[in-house]
Amino acid sequence: MNAPQFWTIPPSKLSPSQLAEKSQALTERLVSICKAHNDVRFATSLAAEDMVITDAIAQAKLPIQFFTLATGRLHQETVDMVKTTEDHYQIAITKAYPEESDIQAFIDQYGINGFYEGEAAKKACCGARKIKPLNAALLGADAWLTGQRREQSTTRTELNFAEHDDARGIEKFNPLFDWSEADVWAYIKQENVPIHPLHLKGYPSIGCEPCTRQVKQGEDIRAGRWWWLQSNSKECGLHVNQ
C-alpha cells in the first residue's frame, strides 16, 4: 500500500507586480483600520495567514496589539512559534489563557478528551479554551483582526473585509478575506516570513493538537480540523456572532 500524500505548500501564481499590488492593498487596509479605531488588536494563531498579517503590521510599524489564544492543548511547535515570531519581528505577543475553573468544569462533565464525543462537547471545550479567553483579550478594544479568507471553507464564502461583531460589540476586520491560498504563500516566500513547522508536514490549517491532523492531497484544507465531525462543523465559534 502506498503511503498517503499530504498537502504541500502551493506554488505561487502571482507575478511580482501582482504581489506588490496585493501587499500594498493589505497595508492600506491595515492603515485605514488604525486611522478609524483607537484600540485595534490582532488574534494570531501563528499559521500562514496570520503570519502574513503580522509581517504587514510589523513592516508598517502600526499600533496594533498582538495576542494569541494559549489554549493549553497546542502543539509544541505552535508554542515555540510564538517566541520565533516575537524574536523575528521584535514584537510582544500576549498570551490569553483559559480559566482553570472553566477547564476543570469541562473535564468534570466530559472528560479530558470529551470533545471527541460530538459537536456539543467540542463547542464546550472551545468555549472554555478559546472563546472566553478571546472575549477577555478583547476587553477595551474597539476593533480586532482575523486571518480568515473566503476560500478557506464553505462557512466563509460570504466573508467581507469589515463586519460588526455583535457578540462583542466591536468592529471586526478580515484583511485577507479575498486572498487565495496561493496568494498567502507567495507573500510568505517574497517577504521571507517565518513558517510554522507544521505547514511543512502536511498541515494547511493548525489548531489544538488533539483536534488537528494532516490533510491528504485533494482534501479540503480544513479537513484536518475536527475531522470526526461533519463538514459543517469546522468552526470553533470564535467567528460566529452569538
d(CA 37, CA 170): 10
Q: What is the DSSP string of 146-199?
A: ----GGG-GGGTT--SEEEETTTTEEEE-TTTT--HHHHHHHHHHHT----GGG
Angle formed by the axes of helices 119-126 and 100-110, nearest 10°: 160
* Residue from 126, 208, 211, 236 carrying the catalytic annotation: 236
d(CA 216, CA 203): 9
Helices marked H in 12-60? 16-36, 48-60
Asked if 236 is an active-site residue, the reply is: yes
Fill in the amino acid letter for 69: L
d(CA 108, CA 135): 23
Residue 126's region, left for phi above 0, alpha for psi from -120 to 50, else beta, is alpha
Residues belonging to the active site: 236
